[in-house]
């Protein structure tokens, strides 16, 4: 069972992109789904999360531009990205964890081992 991202690519500044993540059946204790990203030479950072009630959380750098959503019927986790900036260029990862409260998954410096499941990542490049 593995998370699998899709939808990355090259996009112009100001453009939009939608990432998707196929989510396998996890233990019921897995209450938190999230998107992370890692730019070249930087730490992996959590940018958006959604808990089992559907409550969505974002870091300031993407708030108002990115939307996380989960379709339980289709077992998919999506990230809709708008008004993309060159600073959004990174490898994007889907993640899942048993973490309470879920907002803790977005804390700066979170050890990667604190997340129970990772996808392989999909590259997003914002460039003219």
Per-residue pLDDT at 107 exceeds 90: yes
- pLDDT (0 to 100) of residue 2: 86
What 84-87 contacts at long range (C-beta under 8 Å, 24+ apart), as own/partner pairs, is: 84/11, 84/12, 84/13, 84/14, 84/15, 84/16, 84/17, 84/124, 84/126, 85/13, 85/126, 86/13, 86/126, 86/127, 87/39, 87/61, 87/126
Percentage, residues of the chain above pLDDT 90: 89
**Average pLDDT value for the chain:** 95
18-76: per-residue pLDDT in tens?
A: 999 999 888 878 899 999 999 999 999 999 999 999 999 999 999 999 999 998 887 89
Q: What is the pLDDT of residue 1?
A: 65
Mean pLDDT of 11-22: 97
Residues 6+ apart with CB under 8 A from 15: 84, 126
Distance separating alpha carbons of residues 66 and 84, to the nearest angstrom: 9
Question: What pLDDT, on a 0 to 100 scale, did the predictor assign at position 94?
Answer: 97
Q: Give the end-to-end CA distance of the chain in Å, rounded to a whole number.
A: 37
């Amino acid at each position: 069972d593995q998370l699998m991202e899709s939808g990355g690519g090259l996009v112009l500044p100001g453009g939009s992109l939608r990432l998707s993540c196929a989510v396998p059946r996890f233990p019921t204790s897995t209450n938190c789904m999230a998107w992370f990203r890692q730019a070249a030479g930087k730490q992996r950072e959590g940018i958006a999360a959604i808990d089992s009630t559907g409550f969505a959380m974002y870091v300031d750098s993407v708030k108002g531009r990115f939307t996380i959503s989960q379709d339980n019927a289709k077992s998919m986790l999506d990230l809709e990205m708008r008004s993309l900036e060159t600073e959004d260029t990174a490898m994007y990862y889907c993640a899942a964890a048993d973490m309470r409260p879920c907002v803790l998954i977005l804390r700066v410096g979170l050890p990667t081992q604190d997340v129970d499941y990772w996808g392989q990542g999909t590259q997003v490049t914002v460039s003219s």
